Amino acid sequence: MRGKVAYFRTSLQDVSDYDQLAFFIKPNENISSGEYLIDFCSDAKGETPVIRLALPHLTMNEWNRVLLDNGAKLGCQTQSIRLWCVNGPSTVTLTIDSIFACKTGFSDKGNQ
């Protein structure tokens, strides 16, 4: 499968105080680095990405903690977040939990 896998409408969000995205994800297959992207979109339907962050390698059937660093502020016009498949398995189930924006220096022991 290639293309938009899913999207979530956030309404208009200002995440310009943050430069990282953190969450847990559990795939039912191993996922290679770069096969999937998390896109911050400027529209409500997940069609217009303004920031793209590549997912790292994910281990199957395990909750993988992911911290994606944009290297700059995330922006102030986010209306949806989408999951984009670059080149992945034909059928995969991804469960995502506890997604939040955070600042540089966030760690397992840090604050949001």
Residue 108 has pLDDT above 70, yes or no: no
Residues 60-73 have a mean pLDDT of 95
109 inside domain: no
Residues of the domain holding 61: 3-102
Closest by CA to 49, choosing from 24, 70, 26, is 70
pLDDT tens track for 68-87 = 999 999 887 889 999 999 98
76 inside domain: yes
How far apart CA 53 and CA 98 sit, in angstroms, is 17
Q: Which residues of 43-78 are buried (b: 16+ CB within 10 A; e: fewer)?
A: eeebeebebebebeebeeeeebebebebeeebbeeb
92 inside domain: yes
21 inside domain: yes
Residue 48 has pLDDT above 70, yes or no: yes
Residue 14 has pLDDT above 90, yes or no: no
27 inside domain: yes
108 inside domain: no
The CATH number for 54's domain is: 2.60.120
Residues 56-72 have a mean pLDDT of 96
Q: How many domains does the chain have?
A: 1
How far apart CA 41 and CA 50 sit, in angstroms, is 5
50 inside domain: yes
Residue 73: DSSP 8-state: -
How confident is the model at residue 111, as a pLDDT?
Answer: 45
Percent of residues, the chain, with pLDDT higher than 90: 66
110 inside domain: no
- Residue 57 has phi, psi (to 5 degrees) of -55, 135
